[in-house]
């Protein structure tokens, strides 16, 4: 099991403090900058490892950054704290994005990122809770995160804890039936302490979601299963923040975050082939330059 990096964790705490003390413009700037740094980190990890899921990583990084740097009640130095909020990355193939985010928050030393996917590394191609602090359950096969999150939300209620469960789902992932079994359970049980975030980039591995197996109208589907639905721009950090922190009603919340696969790197944006293509060294330089702007 990796251990926390106290220095980075302290910087993360200062970030969180400054965020809560700041007005909207500063807040937006802080999260934007942080997310783009993680994008750059992730691109280098993928380049070094020669594998990864770059399109989905770029797509989900604003969601992950907003959660870890402004919303989640967690402590990188106490990953086992019982009343922490729970975060589950159901689309586990974007582990690189999660690792970059966790390391930036101090859950483990950033130097560890250099080992991503290397021999005997804790940082497998899909996240492993047994080795990586901050990972709550092992994902990789799609359609597992929501049922597990429902279990965590039921547990929080049973133990009268105010902790909240956030789970990030891919949109293609929603073709798995297990999601709808869990959605039904969550709706039936009025799990107000559960928020499912759909990374709605409209692409899956081989094609557009709507050309493969139609998901729309996605909002109506979740409503019909007993959920409240919010739809936001998934790259607008403040809109995400508002959706994640808005007072909850009587039902679980689904945040449909409209995103662009490959976001932030012009030649990757909305292009299906970047699902798991590995950028060349020159492409990483070009992409990093775009992200530094």
Ligand X SMILES: Cc1ncc(C[n+]2csc(CCOP(=O)(O)OP(=O)(O)O)c2C)c(N)n1
Touching other proteins, residues 160-189 (CB under 8 A): 172-173, 175-177
Query: What are the backbone dihedrals phi and psi of residue 96, each rounded to the nearest 5 degrees, phi first?
Result: -55, -45
Closest distance between ligand X and the C-beta of residue 194, in Å? 19
Query: Of the two residues 56 and 79, which places its CB atom closer to ligand X in the complex?
Result: 56
Closest distance between ligand X and the C-beta of residue 35, in Å? 16
Based on the shown chain and the rule CB under 6 A, indicate whether residue 125 belongs to the binding site for ligand X: no
What is the spatial distance between Cα 233 and Cα 223, in angstroms, rounded to a whole number? Answer: 19
Query: Of the two residues 192 and 204, which places its CB atom closer to ligand X in the complex?
Result: 204
Query: Of the two residues 156 and 167, which places its CB atom closer to ligand X in the complex?
Result: 167
Closest distance between ligand X and the C-beta of residue 175, in Å? 8
Query: Of the two residues 76 and 147, which places its CB atom closer to ligand X in the complex?
Result: 147
Residue span binding other proteins (CB under 8 A) among the ranges 97-105, 132-140, 224-232, 256-264 = 132-140
Based on the shown chain and the rule CB under 8 A, indicate whether residue 111 belongs to the binding site for other proteins: no
Based on the shown chain and the rule CB under 8 A, indicate whether residue 141 belongs to the binding site for other proteins: yes
Contacts of 264 (CB under 8 A, 6+ apart): 36, 39, 58, 61, 287, 290, 291
* Binding residue (CB under 6 A) for ligand X from 38, 201, 253, 260: 201
Residue ranges binding ligand X (CB under 6 A): 53, 55-56, 59, 91, 93, 140-143, 170-173, 199, 201, 203-205, 261
Residues that bind other proteins in the complex, under the rule CB under 8 A = 49, 51, 92, 117-126, 128, 138-143, 172-173, 175-177, 204-207, 209, 212-213
């Amino acid at each position: 099991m990796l251990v926390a990096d106290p220095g980075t964790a302290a910087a993360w705490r200062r970030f969180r403090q400054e965020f809560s003390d700041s007005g909207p413009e500063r807040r937006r700037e802080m999260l934007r900058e942080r997310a783009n740094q993680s994008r750059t980190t992730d691109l280098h990890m993928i380049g070094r490892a020669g594998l990864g899921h770059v399109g989905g990583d770029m797509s989900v990084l604003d969601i992950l950054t907003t959660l870890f740097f402004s919303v989640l009640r967690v402590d990188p130095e106490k990953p086992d704290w019982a009343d922490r909020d729970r975060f589950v990355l159901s689309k586990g193939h974007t582990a690189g994005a999660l690792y970059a985010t966790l390391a930036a928050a101090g859950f483990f030393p950033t130097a560890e990122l250099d080992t991503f996917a290397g021999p005997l590394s804790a940082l497998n191609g899909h996240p492993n809770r047994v080795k990586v602090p901050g990972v709550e359950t092992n994902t990789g096969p799609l359609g597992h995160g929501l049922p597990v999150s429902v279990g965590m939300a039921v547990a929080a209620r049973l133990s009268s804890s105010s902790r909240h469960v956030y789970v990030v789902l891919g949109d293609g992932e929603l073709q798995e039936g297990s999601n709808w079994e869990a959605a039904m359970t969550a709706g039936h049980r009025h799990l107000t302490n559960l928020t499912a975030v759909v990374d709605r980039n409209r692409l899956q591995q081989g094609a557009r979601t709507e050309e493969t197996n139609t998901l729309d109208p996605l909002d109506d589907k979740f409503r019909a299963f007993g959920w409240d639905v919010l739809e936001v721009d998934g790259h607008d950090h403040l809109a995400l923040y508002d959706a994640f922190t808005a007072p909850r009603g009587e039902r679980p919340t689904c945040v449909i975050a409209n995103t662009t696969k490959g976001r932030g790197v012009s030649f990757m944006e909305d292009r299906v082939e970047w699902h798991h293509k590995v950028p060349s060294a020159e492409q990483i330089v070009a992409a990093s330059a775009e992200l530094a702007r």
